[in-house]
Amino acid sequence: MSKFPKVLFVLTATVLGSAAAADTLGLGREATPDEVAAWDIDIRPDGAGLPVGSGSVLDGEEVFAEQCAACHGDFGEGVDRWPVLAGGQGTLESEDPVKTIGSYWPYLSTAWDYIHRAMPFGEAQSLSPDEVYAITAYLLYMNDVVDDDEFVLSNENFADTRLPNEDGFFMDDRDASPIMASADACMTDCKDSVEITMRARVLDVTPDQDGAEEMTEAAVTEESAEPVVDPALIAAGEQVFKQCKACHQVGEGAKNRVGPILNGIVGGAAGAVEGFRYSKAMAEAGEGGLVWDHEALAGYLADPRGYLPKNKMTFRGLKKAEDIDAVIAYLASFE
């Protein structure tokens, strides 16, 4: 007999009532304590079940880049159809809500448990507890739940960390609800026919190519059709900006995402986009008079962390001066 049926019998007996099921059905045997313990890895909202361990934001960034970024992007922006892990604040009432631990999830234990139980994809449960703590700490930082890149998450302070939407959830009380408890369904005054008045629609399909070309043309010309700057430089900047699009938007209808919108950033004050929650470092730089002229932007884009320590932007920077000049020219086309 192969090994598979033996394993199946053990699990079947366990699920259906352990030894009692084995006696009744004549299948398998009672699961041993070690077998039960191997499945008993859930983490509760109060931290019960957490293993001893710890991990910092900075350590988490390294682990995330190695283990998670291929699917979820360097900044949690999501790649292709893989889930977005950062941002989404204020989107739950929109037509296209972004559900992350910063916008939707109620308990940090859900994130820790899922990462520990199922990630990385294809190599589930290969991460050590310290690595899971580190990744979770990095996600907290990327979602503005913590604002210190030296923050360390551990089993000792885990229950002290609360997610923004915890109060948005409540216990299911349908058993006690007068509507759900009613045994008699209303069968009077029914409509003669049913009319479909609304249909679901997909909001994140591949952009229309013609529309993309029109937006590019609008970005490089004014109403007079005179070029703002060298169109070729702006076009090159648009290509470079693809490295930024996961976090930042520009143009008409742009919205704050993981990072703020960048319309009007060239020549504008730092930390000035309304409605965006900046890091303490960026807010203080803006209050101190930092203006994003070409020189300041060039320095920041070359080395974001070196130029403004403790800011939350984790992008490592553009290495080529021509790429920096191009993307600044592209951004300058959006007032």
Interatomic CA distance for residues 77 and 88, integer angstroms = 10
Other Cβ atoms within 10 Å of 225 Cβ, number: 7
pLDDT tens by residue, 231-284: 888 888 888 888 888 788 999 889 888 889 999 999 999 999 988 888 888 988
pTM: 0.52
What pLDDT score does 141 carry?
94
pLDDT tens by residue, 160-207: 999 999 999 888 777 776 655 555 667 788 888 877 776 555 444 444
Interatomic CA distance for residues 106 and 100, integer angstroms = 10
What pLDDT score does 38 carry?
82
Residues 6+ apart with CB under 8 A from 271: 278, 282, 283, 285, 286, 287, 290
- For 55, phi then psi, to 5°, come to -165, 140
In this model, does residue 226 exceed pLDDT 60?
no
What pLDDT score does 175 carry?
72
Joined together, the tokens standing for residue 53 give 């361990």
In this model, does residue 213 exceed pLDDT 80?
no
Comparing 135 with 24, the larger pLDDT belongs to: 135
Other Cβ atoms within 10 Å of 310 Cβ, number: 14
In this model, does residue 52 exceed pLDDT 80?
yes
In this model, does residue 7 exceed pLDDT 80?
no
Q: How high is the mean pLDDT of the chain? A: 81
Nearest to 166 by CA among 108, 112, 115, 111: 108
Mean pLDDT check: name the lowest of 34-48, 151-165, 194-208: 194-208
What is the pLDDT averaged over residues 84-107? Answer: 91
What pLDDT score does 204 carry?
44
* Burial (Cβ within 10 Å: 0-12, 13-18, ≥19) of residue 262: buried
What pLDDT score does 177 carry?
66
Is 302 in contact with 318 (CB distance < 8 Å)? yes
In this model, does residue 79 exceed pLDDT 50?
yes
Q: Which long-range contacts (CB under 8 A, 24 or more apart) does 311-314 make?
A: 311/279, 311/281, 311/282, 311/285, 312/141, 312/142, 312/144, 312/147, 312/149, 312/279, 312/281, 312/282, 313/247, 313/259, 314/61, 314/74, 314/75, 314/142
The distance of Cα 223 from the centroid of its chain, to the nearest Å, equals 38
Other Cβ atoms within 10 Å of 139 Cβ, number: 27
What pLDDT score does 104 carry?
95
Domains (range + CATH), the chain: 3-39 (no CATH), 54-168 (1.10.760.10), 220-332 (1.10.760.10)
In this model, does residue 217 exceed pLDDT 50?
no
What is the pLDDT averaged over residues 216-232? Answer: 50
Joined together, the tokens standing for residue 320 give 């080529």
Interatomic CA distance for residues 69 and 88, integer angstroms = 18
- Give the pLDDT band of residue 228 (cuts 50, 70, 90): very low
